[in-house]
Amino acid sequence: MNDEKIAVRVTESGQTMDVVVLSKRADRIQVVVGQGVHSVSCDLTPTRSRQAYVGNVMGREIVYECSCDDVQAQLDSINPGLKKSRRF
């Protein structure tokens, strides 16, 4: 099984890390940070400008720098049969 991974940036330190995607929609991305018993799940939600996704893991802010339109385009290219009306 191939897990999708995305790179997120920790805003406090500026470091980037790869996280595993549990589910991806245009309005929310669920990710898992860490591995094994030390893993923590997190919801990334769009910013006000819809140019990035942001979430908190154990008090630390993480950012996925990809716009909502880009994520929707990725989802549409994976399965074009699932195109649906957008609420946004």
Q: How confident is the model at residue 86 (pLDDT cuts 50, 70, 90)?
A: low
28 pLDDT higher than 60: yes
All structural domains of the chain with their residue ranges: 5-79
Q: What is the pLDDT of residue 2?
A: 72
pTM of the model: 0.85
Tell me: the pLDDT tens digits for 37-59?
Answer: 999 999 999 999 999 999 999 99
Residues 11-24, mean pLDDT to the nearest whole number: 95
In whole angstroms, what is the distance from residue 16 CA to residue 77 CA?
A: 26
Tell me: the pLDDT tens digits for 59-83?
Answer: 999 999 999 999 999 888 887 766 6
